[in-house]
Structure 1
Amino acid sequence: MDVSVIVPFYNNVNWLYDAINSINESPHLSYEVIIVNDGSNEIIDKSRFVNSNNAIRIIEQPNQGPGKARNNGIDLAVGEYIAFLDSDDLFVKNKLSKQIQYMKDNNLQWCHSSYIKFYENKNEELVDNSCYSGMIFPKCLAYNPIATPTVMVKRVALENPTKRFSETMRFGQDGFMWSQLAANYSVGVISEPLSLVRMRGTNATLKARNHLYVKSNMYNYLKQSDKYYNGKKIPAIIKAIFAIADFNYKIIDLIYRNWENDTSVEILARLLYSTQYLALKFYKIKK
């Protein structure tokens, strides 16, 4: 088996059909699709998949989040390569074949690509990631534009040492995974956009409170560098920024649990996060 495509799913089954049906590859490529149903109550009708000649497995789990769903998919994958597709996103034609050939040609353990954001109003926006390659650690802790549906990784690269998505983070599980890979391997990039990422008002990356949440959780991983980052030293400035974000998130979380006013809490979160945001932006420019 050449590649396993892992798709976590939780609701909006019509988008799932579009996502799976966007996989359009040469018959010479052998691939499987592992859909991990993360506790959705919607029925998945396999007859709606147009490329059902390839192996499509549906795995059921109680709702535990996309990190756990992707990890379960990794554990079950048999492909030499692993790709990730979120159930509301799309692949372009021959996406998998192009990435596999690129990785073979450049002897890479993982790679990503540019991508297109598409919106409900039909607008599209190109995200050009062509310059984001090489040894990106620890820079990736301050700035990481890699989108999950653009990533392909050799399965063996996830095993020794074991690298998995965070199962405790509601958001940012993917960034944690990419930072682990970056601490061990150089990343390649294909300048051509090979995925389309759906943008909605509910996208987690749009909220400052979620940015604080991610940095707070990542701070706990940074303190365990030997376990997660191959013993690589974390720059003191990065640790300090994430420690401040951790403190600020605890304030925001306490206020939210006692107030539950989304708009006001988000305004306060933006004020508290602004210094960490600017500090990380400055670190990125200096690097």
Structure 2
Amino acid sequence: MPTRIPYELPRFDGKSERPHVMGILNVTPDSFSDGGRNAVAGTALAHARQMIADGADIIDVGGESTRPGSEPVSLDLEWSRLVPVLDEVIAMGTPVSIDTYKAEIARRACAAGALIVNDVWGLQKDPAMADTVAEAGVHVVMMHNRTEADPEIDILADIDRFFEASMELAERAGIAKDKQILDPGFGFGKTIDQNFRILNRFETLAKHGLPLLAGASRKRMIGTVLNAEMEDRLYGSMAVHMTAMLKGAAIVRAHDVRPHADCARMLEATRLERNPT
């Protein structure tokens, strides 16, 4: 087992803690935003280094696109995409998250030194995931998801039920409470209106007593409002994420690290009423 780089979640008590920025590193050919761009190991590693230089607190590495409508890939194919980059990214010294819903991928990545499992199905897809996370002693992001959007449901009530089920699985497996993170899953099984309802009421998710992650980077909810293509959604992404941070997000997951890191630092300075450094 490699030496683990310590990672502590921000307390984010509204006074002193800076939200953390999770930089996205997709080593896939079909991710919705940057598919294929980092599929070559050298390019992926260079991008990881740049995100760290730009202020990333976490690097989130994924070997399978989890965008709605994407084709699932086999465990072997997913792992083959991760092998050329995972060890080297971990060795860079910034905490690494593994973006997967497969327990075996999570087990291998955590054995290599990953500190966070980012599960887009909130421990509810692979029956072995909760035990795998518990045995590894790592953090877990439990994201709300649906197989399809339903405009008729109360999306916040649906998220609450899903979170309670995920938290129960985590507790049953023995995952420490201080290692659990919740993500409402912008864009996953939700209508555009439901996404904005979640954002507008993001602070209500704090009732579950766990740190919150917001991940809306470059998503369709932004493109629809701004009538903007993927490459023109930076400012919209920052607006959504800044709103989420003001409403209690402890982590934002973003493609564009530098501007998000700057926003997080300015928010921290405002709360402290001084330069935090």
For the aligned pair, the TM-score class normalised by the smaller chain equals: under 0.3
- TM-score of the aligned structures, taking structure 2 as reference length: 0.26
**Structure index of larger Rg:** 1
Which structure's residues are more often strand, by fraction?
Answer: 1
- TM-score of the aligned structures, taking structure 1 as reference length: 0.26
